[in-house]
Amino acid sequence: MKRAVRRSVVIGSAVAVLVGYAALDAADLAPGILTTRPLPPPPPTATPGTRTLPVVPQPTPSTSVGMPLGSLAEDGAAPSPAALRERLASVLGLPALSLASLVVRDGQTGTVLLDERGAEPQVPASTTKLLSAAAIGQVFGPNDVLTTKVVGGSSAGSIILVAGGDSLLAPDQGNPASVDGHAGLGDLAAQVADALRRSGTTKVTVSVDLSYAPGPLLAPTWSASFRPDGITGAVAMLGRADQRAVPGRPGPADPVAGTVDAFLAQLRKHGITASRASVAHSLAPLDARVLGSVDSAPVLDQLGLALTESDNALIEILARQAAFRSGAQTSFGDVGTWVVKRVAALGLDIQGVALSDASGLSRENRVTALLLTDLLAKGYDGRHAALRLAIEGMPIAGLTGTLEDRYLSGTAHAAAGRVRAKTGTLTGANALAGSVVDDDGRLLVFAGLVPKAGMADARAALDGFVTALASCGCRA
């Protein structure tokens, strides 16, 4: 009975991996139907908030795979380790993978089917975010939000903008249907202006309270070029959605200053004469009157966005808050150490694992491929809501996030819509960790950490590795 329940949970969890192909099939861009029998849903592990991620765009012919997937396989249909290795032989011989750590597990049982240097600590790059997501999800519940508020100051005509961890504020009105820009500074200003007018106040000075989850803006182990190049934004507990950093378009050096400027402008639009206080930072009085507040999208939706788009600053912001709420210190290194401890609390082997940040930008980070696959396998067993939500945020091959432009042509095209994985890219360190449903309908979990190879060669080798898994089956 226990085995049957486990099978039902895993099959239901695998539906998240199949969402990419389901979109293709539903849009009549791939023939056939996804499965020949209904799949039981997993037992509920949490009551989710209103989900807005992952956002899967309408598929195009370029992302349509050639054949429909079959039914999900039963317990007895696990691939044979020997047959799997035989199928992967040509890929494993690629020069780019000569020093790589490669692990494949059966997603249904957790059994290791392939282990090539899986216990060797490697630079994980952005696959670090999977560990951070597991830690963040242990602190924040599915309905938890981040509140930005304004309170009255200690002197007449002074008000304080209190940072609450939302770095995705809209500069004007918020959009309740969106994760970034969910809460708006314009909406906050409207509330504050109304409260001020009721008390007869039309002129104020504004300071900001940054006492929540304080810490440095940039990590000492990061390259000095990362922020100017848009690889990451500054890590602050108050920021705007329209100032998010993307490669080639950097965010501001001081996100808080830009957010305060936008708030001042919104107050003026609502008839309040507003200026910066002579002392920019202050602590809100404990008994301060709340003049207005706005709530972010659920934190776990923000986490999904961070994973899908590999947003380095956002995952650091969320991890720092989670560590702060747990009573830990909030330097980048302290948060990394806290993440590792939280992963260990899940009963996973952290031998050789060390983190200097939560995003994976630090070259001092070390993670094993065995740990990544163990973490992913736990996410699919249906008993860990936070890990399930983290998996939902991973990009889908050929459709979303950092996998949107991969698996679109050549032999790798066969895996489009069937792979859900977190990418990782640093110079000389490339990674891919996630899951795929093979041709026999079996869910496989994998991780590949590739050191000392060029990005193009490493990426092609990893994509070839995953494509071989997708087309395998490999039963004895």
CA–CA gap between residue 258 and residue 249 (Å, rounded): 16
pLDDT at residue number 476 = 65
Three-state SS across 197-233? Answer: HHCCCCEEEEEEECCCCCCCCCCCCCCCCCCCCCCCC
Q: What residue ranges do the domains of the chain occupy?
A: 2-140+304-470, 147-297
pLDDT at residue number 82 = 94
Can you name the residues that pair with 103 across neighbouring β-strands? 115, 447
CA torsion, points 314, 315, 320, 321, in degrees to nearest 10? Answer: 70
Cβ within 8 Å of residue 288, ≥6 positions away: 151, 152, 153, 160
CA–CA gap between residue 54 and residue 69 (Å, rounded): 21
pLDDT at residue number 30 = 37
CA–CA gap between residue 145 and residue 430 (Å, rounded): 33
User: Position 248: which residue type?
Assistant: G
Q: Give Cα separations from 131 to 9, 321, 322 (angstroms).
A: 22, 15, 13
Q: CATH for 2-140+304-470?
A: 3.40.710.10
**Tens of pLDDT, residues 87-98:** 999 999 999 999
pLDDT at residue number 189 = 98
pLDDT at residue number 72 = 53
pLDDT at residue number 75 = 55
Burial profile 327-353: b = 16 or more Cβ within 10 angstroms, e = fewer: ebebbbbebbbbbbebbeebebebeeb
- pLDDT of the chain along its 476 residues, tens only? 434 434 444 444 444 444 444 443 333 333 333 333 333 333 333 333 333 334 444 445 444 444 444 445 555 578 899 999 999 999 999 999 999 999 999 988 899 999 999 999 999 999 999 999 999 999 999 899 999 999 999 999 999 999 999 999 999 999 999 999 999 999 999 999 999 999 999 999 999 999 999 999 999 999 999 999 999 999 999 999 999 999 999 999 999 999 999 999 999 999 999 999 998 899 999 999 999 999 999 999 999 999 989 999 999 999 999 999 999 999 999 999 999 999 999 999 999 999 999 999 999 999 999 999 999 999 888 777 777 877 888 899 999 888 999 998 888 888 899 999 999 999 999 999 999 999 888 999 999 999 999 999 999 999 999 999 999 878 76
Sequential DSSP letters for 427-456: TTEEEEEEEEE-TTS-EEEEEEEEESS-HH
User: Position 277: which residue type?
Assistant: A
Q: Are 133 and 436 in contact (CB under 8 A)?
A: no
Phi, psi of 426 (to 5 degrees): -135, 160
Sequential DSSP letters for 348-402: ---TT-B-S-SSS--TT-BB-HHHHHHHHHHHHSSS-HHHHHHHHTS-BTTTSGG
CA–CA gap between residue 363 and residue 357 (Å, rounded): 10
Joined together, the tokens standing for residue 143 give: 């309905």
CA–CA gap between residue 237 and residue 234 (Å, rounded): 10
Half-sphere exposure of 16 (CA within 13 A, CB side): 26
Q: Are 375 and 344 in contact (CB under 8 A)?
A: no
**Tens of pLDDT, residues 7-26:** 444 444 444 444 444 443 33
Average pLDDT value for the chain: 86
